[in-house]
Amino acid sequence: MTWRMNSEVIIMSNNKSTLRRIIDRNVERHLVKEFLMNNTKKAGFGGLDIRRTPAGTEVTIKAERPGMVIGRKGKIINDLQKRLSDEFSLDNPRLKVDEVEDPALNAQVMAEKIASAMERGWYYRRAGHSAALNIMEAGARGVLITLSGKLTGSRNRTQKFLRGHVKYCGETALQHMDTGYSVCIKKLGTIGVSVAIMRKGTKLPHEITIFSKEEIAIQDAAKEEAAPAETEEESK
């Protein structure tokens, strides 16, 4: 009985240490993201990807203007990589930069742009409507922009700008929604800016296509014609 209790305590302590390692690793990743976001804000920070490899930790920054992250002769990116190695417990970090393909469809980039526009004096309705219009024109299926804080006076309020189709929760939201967050600092106080974009070309589970018998016959005939051509190419 004593041995069993001792073994259970050992197992629980091991589980706790494993959970603690997972929590510490996630906290470390969040701090790294916050650090890089603050140091690459002018370059249009669009996201971060951290991967553990046999050679070390690969940190990839997505930026709207990669040249501003790299710097002249790689000076800025080398300094950031050195600070990552000195200030964080990452195993041999290697910093890379990828360009954001379409900034208007990147939620983090658009959140930063809305916050920057309001800091420059744009009225919050103009900033929200303009950003939502640009996102939808870029091909997004839907967008939800939420501004929360002291928008017009001393009292907090929330204003939402909704366009298209948006999923709020569930597996569909996790798969098809891109989210970003930024903070606008004004004289009245801070304003939180959150952007959620349903990605371009998203096909939702309830969206189905029903083909007629003629259309199915045409598709089958096309597949039969394509099959001999593929076998001839493979034989060559």
Scan for tokens 């890379």, then name that residue.
96
**Domain with 188 in it:** 104-198
Q: Is the domain of 84 the same as that of 151?
A: no
Whether residue 2 is predicted with pLDDT greater than 50 in this model: the reply is no
Does residue 204 or residue 15 have the better pLDDT? 204
pLDDT above 90: percentage of residues in the chain: 26
Q: Return the pLDDT at 230.
A: 58
Q: Return the pLDDT at 11.
A: 46
How far apart are alpha carbons 227 and 236 in whole angstroms? Answer: 15
Q: Is the domain of 125 the same as that of 189?
A: yes
Q: Distance from CA of residue 62 to its chain's centroid? A: 9
**221 within a domain of the structure (yes/no):** no
- CATH code, domain carrying 82: 3.30.300.20
pTM of the model: 0.75
Condensed to tens digits (0 to 9), the pLDDT of residues 81-134 reads 888 888 887 778 888 888 888 889 999 999 999 999 999 989 999 999 999 999
| Bridging pattern class, strands 56-63 and 142-149 | unpaired
**222 within a domain of the structure (yes/no):** no
How far apart are alpha carbons 233 and 48 in whole angstroms? Answer: 42
Q: Is the domain of 55 the same as that of 134?
A: no
Q: Is the domain of 168 the same as that of 194?
A: yes
**211 within a domain of the structure (yes/no):** no
DSSP state at residue 199: P
Q: Is the domain of 94 the same as that of 157?
A: no
**225 within a domain of the structure (yes/no):** no
**58 within a domain of the structure (yes/no):** yes
Residues 6+ away with beta carbon under 8 Å from 84: 32, 35, 59, 90, 93, 95
Q: Is the domain of 87 the same as that of 28?
A: yes
pLDDT band at 137 (very low <50, low <70, confident <90, very high): very high
Number of structural domains the chain divides into: 2
Which whole number is the average pLDDT over 211-233? 76
Which of 100, 119, 143 lies at the terminal end of a domain, its last residue? 100
The secondary structure element, H or E, covering residue 88 is none
How far apart are alpha carbons 65 and 42 in whole angstroms? Answer: 8
Residue of 176, 149, 148, 145 lying closest to 161 (CA atoms)? 145
Condensed to tens digits (0 to 9), the pLDDT of residues 191-213 reads 999 999 998 888 877 778 888 88
Whether residue 181 is predicted with pLDDT greater than 70 in this model: the reply is yes
Greatest extent of the chain over all pairs of C-alpha atoms, in Å: 76
